[in-house]
Amino acid sequence: MKLLKDKIVEEGKVLSKDVLKVDAFLNHQIDPVIIKAIGEEIADRFAEAGITKILTIESSGIAPSMFAGLELGVSVVFARKSKSVTLSGNLLTSKVHSFTKNVTSDISVSKDFLQEGDVVLIIDDFLANGQAVLGLLEIIDQAGATTAGVGIVIEKGFQPGGKLIREKGIRVESLAIIKSLENGTVEFLEGTPTYE
């Protein structure tokens, strides 16, 4: 998505060969105009997938999900992160490990809002190690629902998440895939990733 790549080049900050900071428009300050375009682009890519629900995770997945949900005519559910989930028979839960923060969090979704028969589109801001998506996939499994695919704003193509999820046979649509952040420069991968 050219608009997004231009924005990353203009406003993103490469902090190291692993870290791209995009808090000027995506995950701290949010530019509603570009996030609307992003949400609609994700929705367009899954327009024929029969989506009945969008599943994301707090906090930065919520904004693009809203616009995708509006476009697809479906509700958005966001998984909550918490240190320890309140005991309740009414929750779907899984664990998500963050490599950057080196903490494992429980995430949870109420059974009321994700059910057998749902066709689910997962949306998140970043795909790096893929742990958040794996946690959301487990929650969809627990609900007996179906995963239609994953829509990602920025994929770090040099980290293993994308390969991990695609090799499960799950469709991943990333609007920008970063090949490298070496030498303080953002290099994008064009086209669809292939794996040996």
> Is position 145 annotated in a ligand binding site?
no
Distance CA 194, CA 57 (A): 27
Residues whose CB is less than 8 angstroms from the CB of residue 160 and which lie 6 or more positions away in sequence, other chains included = 129, 130
Task: Return the residue of 63, 107, 136, 152 that touches its own copies, per CB under 8 A.
Answer: 63
> Is position 159 annotated in a ligand binding site?
no
Q: For residue 59, is the peptide bond before it cis, meaning its omega torsion is within 30 degrees of 0?
A: yes
Answer yes or no whether residue 111 interacts with its own copies by CB under 8 A.
Answer: no
Answer yes or no whether residue 192 interacts with its own copies by CB under 8 A.
Answer: no
Residue with tokens 């487990």: 138
CB-count exposure of residue 170 (10 Å: 0-12, 13-18, 19+): middle
Q: What are phi and psi of 71, to 5 degrees?
A: -65, -40
Residues 144-173 that bind its own copies (CB under 8 A): none
In this chain, which stretch among 2-10, 61-69, 121-129, 150-158 interacts with its own copies, using CB under 8 A? 61-69
Distance CA 140, CA 134 (A): 10
Answer yes or no whether residue 48 interacts with its own copies by CB under 8 A.
Answer: no
Answer yes or no whether residue 80 interacts with its own copies by CB under 8 A.
Answer: yes
Answer yes or no whether residue 115 interacts with its own copies by CB under 8 A.
Answer: no
Task: Return the residue of 6, 9, 15, 28 that touches its own copies, per CB under 8 A.
Answer: 28
> Is position 175 annotated in a ligand binding site?
no
Q: How far is the CB of 112 from its own copies (least distance, A)?
A: 7
Answer yes or no whether residue 91 interacts with its own copies by CB under 8 A.
Answer: no
The DSSP code for 166 is: H
> Is position 156 annotated in a ligand binding site?
yes
Residues whose CB is less than 8 angstroms from the CB of residue 28 and which lie 6 or more positions away in sequence, other chains included = none
10 Å Cβ neighbour count for 8? 22
Interface with its own copies by CB under 8 A: which residues?
Answer: 23-25, 28-33, 35-36, 58-59, 62-63, 65-67, 69-70, 75-78, 80, 109-110, 112-113
Q: Annotated binding site: which residue ranges? A: 20, 27, 128-132, 156
